[in-house]
Amino acid sequence: MRSLRLPAVLTAVVLVATACTGESGAGGSGGYPRNETLYTTGTAWGPPTNWNPIMEGNYAVGTVGLVYEPLFLFDPEENDYTPWLAESDEWPDENTHVITLREGIEWTDGEPLVAEDVVTTLELGHFDIHYSNIWDFVESAEATGEREVTVTFSEPRPQEWMNWVANRAIVPEHLWADKDQAQVNDDPNADPVGTGPYVYENHADDRMVWRRNDDWWGTEALGLEMSATYIVDIVNASNEVTMNMLGNHEVDMSNNFLPGIDQVIERDETITSYYEEPPYMRSANTAWLIPNHEHEALGDPEFRRALAHAIDIDQIISGPYTNLVEAADPTGLLQPWDDYIDHELVAEEGFSYDADEAVRILEDAGYVDEDGDGYVETPDGEPLSLELAVPSGWTDWMEAANIIAGNAEEVGIDVTPAFPEQDLLIENFRRAEFDLMINNDRGLSNTPWTYYDFIFQLPIRDEQITANYARYENEEAWELTERLAATPTDDIEGAAEITSQIQEIFLADLPVIPLWYNGLWSQSSNRVWTNWPSEDPDTPDSYATMWNNLYQLGAIYTLAEIEPVE
Amino acid sequence: MTDVPGTPGTADPGTTGAGGERRTSETLYYARRNPKLLIGASIVLLLLGIGLIGPLFIDHGPNQYIGPQSTPPSGEYWLGTTSFGQDVWAQFVHGLRSTFLTGTLGGGIAFLIGTTVGFVAGYKGGIVDEILNMLTNVVLVLPGMVVLIVAVAYLDVRGLVVQALFIGLTSWPWAARAVRSQTLSLASRDYVDLARLSGRRTWRIITSELAPNMSSYLVMSFILLFGGAVLIAAGLDFIGLGPAGGVSLGLMLESAVAWSALQLGLWWWFIPPGAGITLLVGSMYILNVGLDEVFNPKLREL
Amino acid sequence: MWRYIGRKLGIYGITFVVAVTINWMIPRFMPGDPVRSMLSRASVSDPEALERMTAYYNEVFGLDTPLHQQYFAFWAGLFRGDLGVSVWLYPEPVVDIILRHVPFTLGLLLPAIILSWIIGNRLGAFAARSKVLDNTVLPIGYILTATPYMWLALLLAWALGVVGGFFPTAGGYSFALTPSWTWGFFTNLVSHWFLPFLSMFVVALGGWAIGMRNMIIYELEADYSNYLQALGAPRRLIRRYAFRNAMLPQITGLAVQLGTIIAGALLTEVVFNYPGLGTLILNSLNNNDFFLLQGIFLFVVVGVLIANFIIDIVYVLVDPRTRVRMTGGAS
């Protein structure tokens, strides 16, 4: 049996190797110490390739938030703006906003943060980048002092403006002023120079490693000290791989939707989420059923109302989601925006699951099954069959689409689920080549304006890139939305009056149908790090997530509040 | 695609042209006494029966939510339910059915192409042989799975039939090679020469003289192609390139993994599809060895 | 012999041209616009800006010239080692990305193929015509070779990784390490490599064992064996001849099996999230990154061609008859 000697040797090598590696996984020399390292996953869908904060949606996890920081954060609980790089701000009149920067903030290359940096960042918007549209209403931005920026508006839109202020990362003037269009859009910015609490350490195709910036201004100014020396963000793998890693405590925080995680949370004391019981997770955005209004039946408000009544949302929530999400309010607004919801109106005009009602609405509007095939036809007698598209591979949504199709069938509407590749779907819906789809492109922000902008934005273009995929045309609703944009951010009552009018139109017409609140998926292991945000009053309330744009909503605090386990 | 294990290597094809009757009864005699053949065939037939008849006894669709969620196997739900409350048994029998369909279609198409190419190349020889042989070698070297991934991924229609068609189109080369070399040795036999002299058309000669004399060989090739097609289809289904909205054992496996069946202890969801494929393909292979022994007297254990 | 090798090279050349052509066609004739899908990820809100960027990327990817020109430019690029720029990992060159992943796939494939072939053949040879072994090796071999790669891989990951905790279940090396020439990194690499290797090895092993067993039986029943036996040659000698003769079809079998084994490697890598070409191919697919997909496809084809060529040479070296049968390369 000479031939079997080789495998025997090989097995021995492997066993020795595993023994040396041991439980910790770090082979001694050169590894990041486990108790100083935070392992996260759930945000990155591909290898980190650039650290350019302007390349929204492309940059490595943490580029904005950990390295580049915004002027203000927004606190959704308090509905208030927290000065971050800014020290204070002032509105001398409705067309002028003066922002004063903190003293003593330095870029990681040693240069101080100055007003010119903010001006440069704004002026990058003259290139074709994702925030170019602020120049529709910003007239000028000037450095009126070393640390004072004055922005004047051609048209006051404080809600929209503050959305920029509380989201967009400031870049250093001394490195970015000379860049041209191609560099701004393409430059991987491999050596990011920011102001934030972490700096680039390393990366590979399956991970992004950040190291703590011990000179971070926030330690002194805000009394915040980042807990982990290293943050290793792992590129998303399959659900089952992530589940294995979490179970083995190889990751500390997972921001993935993991089916059945409720069972794990119940079973394993060391794995926790925000709530101890259903829905376990907080809400991050609303999943909408978006009909194409260019379609004859879907353009009919009565038909949409019937469809809204036909969907048994509880079946989706208890089925694929195992109660990890909550049903959406009929207005679709997230819980932190409760002040903007006209509850009386909702009680009167809102919809809920009622198949009989759906059938009644269909009949009244002339949608009946004349040819006896089990499905209704249009009032003109044309057969009606719809396709409901969700991106291929989004298992929870695919399952939800199956359920909705089944629900629709029960009231006689013929809906077939379809699972195109995500990119193909995006391509198609932009050009109005779809019947029905599920979408959650907009999430929690500083103002419900972002939602109404998403639903009502006019004019309709050949391609709808970021908003109004349904192609709903309602001048009145859009005018109200623009008025909402122009409402001062502290005038919640004034804003609520406008949103109430908007909701009247929304509930009557149902241009899009709110389904459920997608969760802010976050499950944490308490084996190495603890004090994760939860509903327990002794723990922090910030968001525990690495998702882009949530640092600006306070997720950054979580990184300072977690504590190493002794 | 190309499962060599058990490929009937040098089985002597068609030792006799005449006296077929006696051979048939002899073959049957040995067939009834070959345990490999019997075990393999009965498992395959059992699975086929389940796939064909099983769905008739189930009055709900395989993907419907019909029962309580995540229940282990019981009298009511023989293989338990998925985490949405789908009946795993219903999925399994429907899956078996479409797995048989994929295997038959995919294997069948590959078989047709492979044998046609093999026969024509082997019988015609010369430039035809050169060209067909070249084609075979080119397709053989192209990594089939990668070609399939690329092709299936961008097809607008992702149906079971399309999948089977593509599998068939990429997995025929080794069969063509094998049939060609068998044909080469047969083509020089007297009775083939006789047929050729009598002016019969090529196609007639292939179907009436060549094919019958290597029928056992052809059956075994088909079995291997069938098994290969089932495995490839399962692989494609698993990485999410399966037929949309369909049921198959590969898709069951995919969804069991996507919904963390193993991690959540739902073994009754994870085990059946994989075990089903293994059992089906494995017993097909064993059946094949059995057949080989029956057809090839030299291999019979004395 | 040289003619034989020349012929083989000719076929490989044609295969290569076919592969390159298929490859070139992928992004151009498939539904879905690569540039558009890339822009969909960078949320550009201004339609004019979108148009300008589309034109810009069309130029970068050379999609704005006539088709035949694109085809020749593609070949020219190929010889410069330029396979274009990845859309998914923009702006990284495709070649760089692939080269980063190739070592992992090779490190998995080569040992799995070679070890399973050697050991499988030995096992099969032992099993042939030995009642006890035959009755155990045969069924186990068939079950193994009929097991879907991913299913076995998942079971192994679950049993040895999650429940047993002996091996890590995902990735190429620990997330706490950076690649370095240290013992610690090497052992870590090996521990991550072991499970994917094992599952590929085990499935392939069954196939070889059965193949060898069947071949040996054919050989033992061949006329020359009977003749030797009649002459009273020792059993060991006959078996040795049989083994040597049975090796030849097993070598060609290796060439035929390459495709299946590569397919298995792709699936296994996906299960273990192993950073090789399999994971990469799935990623490029899901991200509509045609350029990357093309590049990987080309790499795999070239790899298979090289492997085939090596097998051919080995075959010629092992089997002196090929020298005589100069044109018999195809049977």
Question: Which CATH number covers residue B245?
Answer: 1.10.3720.10
Lowest-pLDDT range, A151-165, C39-53, C170-184? C39-53
Closest Cα in chain A to B61: A406
Residue C143 inside a domain? The answer is yes
User: How many interchain CB pairs under 8 A, A with C?
Assistant: 182
Distance from CA of B123 to the nearest CA of A (A): 43
Nearest CA among C165, C225, C222 for reference residue C191? C165
Contact residues of A toward B, CB < 8 A: 238-240, 243-244, 247, 258-260, 263-264, 315, 318-320, 322, 392-393, 395, 399, 402-403, 406, 417-419
Q: Does A508 touch chain C (CB under 8 A)?
A: no
Name which of C175, C277, C282 to mutate to probe chain A: the one with the most chain A Cβ atoms within 10 A of its Cβ.
C175
pTM of the model: 0.84
**Chain A neighbors of B264, CB-CB under 8 A:** 260, 263-264
Interatomic CA distance for residues C236 and A78, integer angstroms: 87
Q: Does A462 touch chain C (CB under 8 A)?
A: yes
- Sheet strand arrangement including A148-153: A86-93, A96-101, A148-153, A138-145
Distance from CA of A402 to the nearest CA of C (A): 22
Residue C58 inside a domain? The answer is no
Task: Provide the CA A398 distance to its chain's centre, in angstroms.
Answer: 20
Q: With an 8 Å Cβ cutoff, are A57 and C43 in contact?
A: yes
Task: Provide the CA C162 distance to its chain's centre, in angstroms.
Answer: 27
| Tens-binned pLDDT, residue by residue, of chain A (566 aa) | 344 455 555 555 555 555 544 444 444 446 899 999 999 999 887 788 889 998 876 789 999 999 999 999 998 888 889 999 999 999 999 899 999 999 999 999 999 999 999 999 999 999 878 788 889 899 999 999 999 999 999 988 888 899 999 999 999 999 999 998 878 877 889 899 999 999 999 998 889 999 999 999 999 999 999 999 999 999 988 888 898 889 888 899 999 999 889 889 998 899 999 999 888 999 989 999 999 999 989 999 999 999 999 999 998 998 888 889 999 999 999 988 999 999 999 999 999 999 999 999 999 999 998 888 889 999 988 899 999 999 877 788 988 998 999 899 999 999 998 887 777 788 788 889 999 999 998 888 888 999 999 999 988 888 887 789 999 999 999 999 999 999 988 888 999 999 999 999 999 999 999 999 999 999 999 999 999 999 999 999 899 999 888 999 999 999 999 999 97
Residue B44 inside a domain? The answer is no
Residue C23 inside a domain? The answer is no
For B9, the closest of C31, C215, C259 (CB atoms) is: C215
Distance from CA of A259 to the nearest CA of B (A): 6
Token pair 């910790």: residue: A24
**Chain A neighbors of B242, CB-CB under 8 A:** none
- pLDDT tens across B43-78, in order? 999 999 999 888 888 888 787 777 788 888 888 888
Distance from CA of C238 to the nearest CA of B (A): 17
Extract the residue ranges of chain B whose pLDDT is less than 70: 1-23, 152-158, 244-245, 297-302
Q: Does B85 touch chain C (CB under 8 A)?
A: no
Residue B2 inside a domain? The answer is no
Quote the pLDDT of residue B10: 38
Question: Once rounded to an integer, what is the mean pLDDT over residues C40-45?
Answer: 51
Instruction: State the burial class of residue B200 (Cβ atoms within 10 Å of its Cβ: 0-12, 13-18, 19+).
Output: middle
Residue B215 inside a domain? The answer is yes
The SS3 call for residue C142 is helix
Question: Once rounded to an integer, what is the mean pLDDT over residues C136-155?
Answer: 87
Distance from CA of B140 to the nearest CA of A (A): 30
Q: Following DSSP, what letter does each residue of A409-433 receive, concatenated?
A: HHTT-EEEEE---HHHHHHHHHTT-
Asked if A434 and A512 touch (Cβ cutoff 8 Å), the reply is no
**Chain A neighbors of B259, CB-CB under 8 A:** 239, 259-260, 395
pLDDT band with cut points at 50, 70 and 90 for residue C39: low
The SS3 call for residue C45 is coil
Q: With an 8 Å Cβ cutoff, are B258 and A395 in contact?
A: yes
Interatomic CA distance for residues A97 and A93, integer angstroms: 8
Q: Does C315 touch chain A (CB under 8 A)?
A: no
The CA-based angle B222-B292-B16, given to 5 degrees, is 100
**Chain C neighbors of B9, CB-CB under 8 A:** 214-215, 218, 249
pLDDT band with cut points at 50, 70 and 90 for residue C329: very low
Considering its fold, how many domains does chain B have in total?
1
Residue C142 inside a domain? The answer is yes
Residue C64 inside a domain? The answer is no
Task: Name, in order, each residue with C-beta under 8 angstroms of B46's C-beta and a sequence gap of 6 or more.
Answer: none
Q: Following DSSP, what letter does each residue of chain B receive, concatenated?
A: ----TT---S----S-SS-HHHHHHHHHHHHHT-HHHHHHHHHHHHHHHHHHHGGGG--S-TTS--S-TTPPP-SSSTT-B-TT--BHHHHHHHHHHHHHHHHHHHHHHHHHHHHHHHHHHHHH-HHHHHHHHHHHHHHHHS-HHHHHHHHHHT-S---HHHHHHHHHHHS-HHHHHHHHHHHHHHHTSHHHHHHHHTT--HHHHIIIIIHHHTHHHHHHHHHHHHHHHHHHHHHHHHTT-S-TT---HHHHHHHHHHTTTTTTT-HHHHHHHHHHHHHHHHHHHHHHHHHHHHH-GGGS--
Q: What ipTM was assigned to the predicted interfaces of this complex?
A: 0.83
Quote the pLDDT of residue C217: 81
Residue C230 inside a domain? The answer is yes
Question: Which CATH number covers residue C260?
Answer: 1.10.3720.10
**Chain B neighbors of C32, CB-CB under 8 A:** 154
Q: With an 8 Å Cβ cutoff, are A14 and C92 in contact?
A: no
Stretch 175-214 of chain B: residues touching chain C, C-beta under 8 Å: 177, 180-181, 184
Residue B289 inside a domain? The answer is yes
C-alpha distances (whole Å) from A527 to each of A37, A82, A246, A272, A352 are 12, 32, 10, 11, 43
Interatomic CA distance for residues A360 and B194, integer angstroms: 80
For B260, the closest of A243, A320, A403 (CB atoms) is: A243
Provide the domain limits for residue B117. 79-299
Most distant CA pair in chain B: distance in Å? 72
- pLDDT tens across C4-22, in order? 778 888 888 888 888 888 7
Residue B278 inside a domain? The answer is yes
Residue B33 inside a domain? The answer is no
Q: With an 8 Å Cβ cutoff, are A421 and C182 in contact?
A: no
Provide the domain limits for residue C179. 94-286
DSSP state of A439: E
Considering its fold, how many domains does chain C have in total?
1
Please name the chains neighbouring B, where neighbouring means 3+ C-beta pairs under 8 angstroms: A, C
Asked if C290 and C88 touch (Cβ cutoff 8 Å), the reply is no
Distance from CA of C151 to the nearest CA of B (A): 6
Asked if C113 and C204 touch (Cβ cutoff 8 Å), the reply is yes
Residue B201 inside a domain? The answer is yes
